[in-house]
Amino acid sequence: MFGGGNKIKLDPDLIDRVKQIAEVAGYASHEEFITHIIEKELANFEDTGSDEDITEKLRGLGYIS
């Protein structure tokens, strides 16, 4: 899933947690779980509409101060 030269570096402790959750949740792999989470979060922002709405969501999540 993450092939083709696209690499994302994550903290090894985070990867261990993701692997555990993915297994318990029934995902085929931790990559599948990560892809699902990213797609779900992107859909939340894409459904928002305008740039201002996205900025407010990011501010509400603490990503922007």
pTM: predicted TM-score of the whole model, two decimal places: 0.65
Give residue 49's pLDDT. Answer: 67
Cα 65 from Cα 58, distance rounded (Å): 9
Mean pLDDT of the chain: 85
Phi, psi of 6 (to 5 degrees): -80, 120
Give residue 17's pLDDT. Answer: 97
Give residue 4's pLDDT. Answer: 63
- At 3-53, the pLDDT tens digits run 566 788 999 999 999 999 999 999 999 999 999 999 998 887 777 667 787
Q: Which DSSP string corresponds to the chain?
A: ---TT------HHHHHHHHHHHHHHT-S-HHHHHHHHHHHHHHHHHTT-SHHHHHHHHHHTTS--
